[in-house]
């Protein structure tokens, strides 16, 4: 049974877990790859982290919400900025990351590579 302090702790970490695309579950349901969070000496909640590919989809969806429009509708400069942010977050180390980002931006893989190369040259 969780106390009010536990509920406050869970409420405090929920935005972070949501931003990562993770799931929260009772600590006794945690698997070996889950992260169990303790508060004041007691296990309060377990966090199941997303697979990297799912995380990229989650990041793209969050970027669309922040932009207030589909990423494909952004102008070229805004798309370049999206690629820069995604590169900084490791999006292109994920298998099929370039293809996934290209699809979300409505551009070709070649264009994404050009944006990445432009960033390195600048």
Is this structure's pTM higher than 0.75? no
Calpha distance 113→60 (Å, rounded):
17
Using the structure block, give the residue that is written with the tokens 């400069």: 77
Q: Split the chain (122 residues) into runs of 10 and give each run's mean pLDDT.
A: 75 89 92 93 92 81 92 96 92 90 97 87 63
Q: What was the pLDDT predicted at 53?
A: 67
Using the structure block, give the residue that is written with the tokens 């070229």: 76
């Amino acid at each position: 049974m969780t106390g009010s302090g536990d509920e406050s702790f869970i409420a405090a970490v929920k935005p972070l877990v949501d931003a990562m695309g993770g799931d929260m579950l009772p600590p006794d349901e945690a698997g070996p790859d889950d992260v169990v969070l303790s508060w004041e000496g007691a296990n309060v909640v377990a966090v199941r982290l997303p697979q990297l590919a799912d995380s990229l989809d989650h990041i793209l969806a969050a970027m669309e919400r922040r932009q207030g429009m589909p990423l494909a509708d952004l102008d070229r400069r805004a798309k370049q900025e999206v690629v820069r942010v995604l590169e900084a977050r490791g999006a292109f180390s994920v298998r099929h990351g370039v293809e996934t980002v290209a699809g979300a931006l409505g551009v070709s893989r070649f264009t994404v590579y050009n944006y990445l190369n432009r960033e390195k040259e600048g």
